[in-house]
Amino acid sequence: MVEREKLTVTIKKALIPKIDKMIDGRKIRNRSHATEFLIEEGLGVNKVKTAFILAGGEGTRLRPLTYEIPKPLIPVHGKPLLEHTLELLRSHGVDDIVMSLGYKAAKIQEYFGDGSRYGMKFSYVIEKEKLGTAGPLRLAEKYLKSTFFVIWADVLAQIDLDDFIRIHKENDGLITIALTSVADPSRYGVVTLKGDKITGFVEKPKKEEAPSNLINAGLAICEPEVLKHLPKGKFAMFEKDIYPKLAEQGKVYGYPFEGQWFDTGTHEAYEQVLKEWQQ
């Protein structure tokens, strides 16, 4: 946990009611917490500017659609799937984007360009062979020198990224994983929590045996030190090589959120997105 030191602050009496209005018992717990929050906001302490987006998959479960169109470019409400995520990031001040590409990389680069038309900066790394979900971090190491998001390109989510960052910084871990709840967790990696700390992962359990209905939502916040924990060899998976091992060391936390969440990996899921996604 983050170390704290007592500090006495004298402020204008007229500001007290405004500070008290911020207290909601969750995000802002009391006056001290409100004051700390305002100081951090003013100093820009809890800002994360960089996102690493995994956009190299072939989208095999969406064929024949993805024979011609890479999955990040499939249309959702008049714009490419990935553009919805970029808009979420931009709305929270995340403007330095690194995309890991593989399948039909040129089409994705051609569409998004350098990011200037979004008011963002885009950089690209290309997977010449399959590297898994964590392996591409090595290609992007020079871009990942400060706290960064990792986002799977086939996920759509409505999530308060500022609050997500706040929880990550307060817990002072290496990774914080966004968690969403689903009715049937048997298709996913299910997590167990103790407070905010993730104590374990169960991959695709039977519905009746699942320890919870909280699953990895395909968004995480990582510290650069995570790159030191990549296994030897080019191929590596967050789900098998990074998350479980760091959780055993008590360095992985969870952030449950209640906003919309969709995994667009199948035709059924994509159809549901077209019907239900709201942004």
For 204-218, how does the pLDDT look when each residue is reduced to its tens digit (9 = 90+)? 777 777 788 888 899
Instruction: Answer whether 0.75 is exceeded by the pTM.
Output: yes
What pLDDT is attached to residue 40? Answer: 56
Same-domain pairing of 167 and 225: yes
> Does residue 45 have a pLDDT over 80?
no
Helix/strand number for the chain, H first, E second: 8, 13
- Expressed as residue numbers, the domain containing 133 is 50-276
Question: Is 47 or 27 the better-scoring residue by pLDDT?
Answer: 47
Query: What number of CA atoms fall less than 13 Å from residue 100's CA on the CB side?
Result: 29
Same-domain pairing of 28 and 54: no
Using a 10 angstrom Cβ sphere, with 0-12 exposed, 13-18 middle and 19 or more buried, the burial of residue 175 is buried
Q: Which of 51, 63, 25 has its CA nearest to residue 122?
A: 51
Give the pLDDT band of residue 252 (cuts 50, 70, 90): very high
Same-domain pairing of 149 and 39: no
- Domain annotation covers residue 90: yes
The pLDDT tens digits for 157-202 are 999 999 999 999 989 889 999 999 888 887 777 888 888 999 988 8
Same-domain pairing of 154 and 249: yes
Same-domain pairing of 19 and 100: no
- Domain annotation covers residue 6: no
Same-domain pairing of 23 and 112: no
- Domain annotation covers residue 5: no
Q: Which two tokens stand for residue 9?
A: 């602050």
How many structural domains does the chain have? Answer: 2
Same-domain pairing of 89 and 214: yes
Same-domain pairing of 208 and 96: yes
Q: Which of 127, 121, 164, 165 has its CA nearest to residue 143?
A: 121
Average the pLDDT over 68-92 and give the result.
92
The catalytic site residues sit at 204
Q: Provide the CATH number for the domain around residue 59.
A: 3.90.550.10
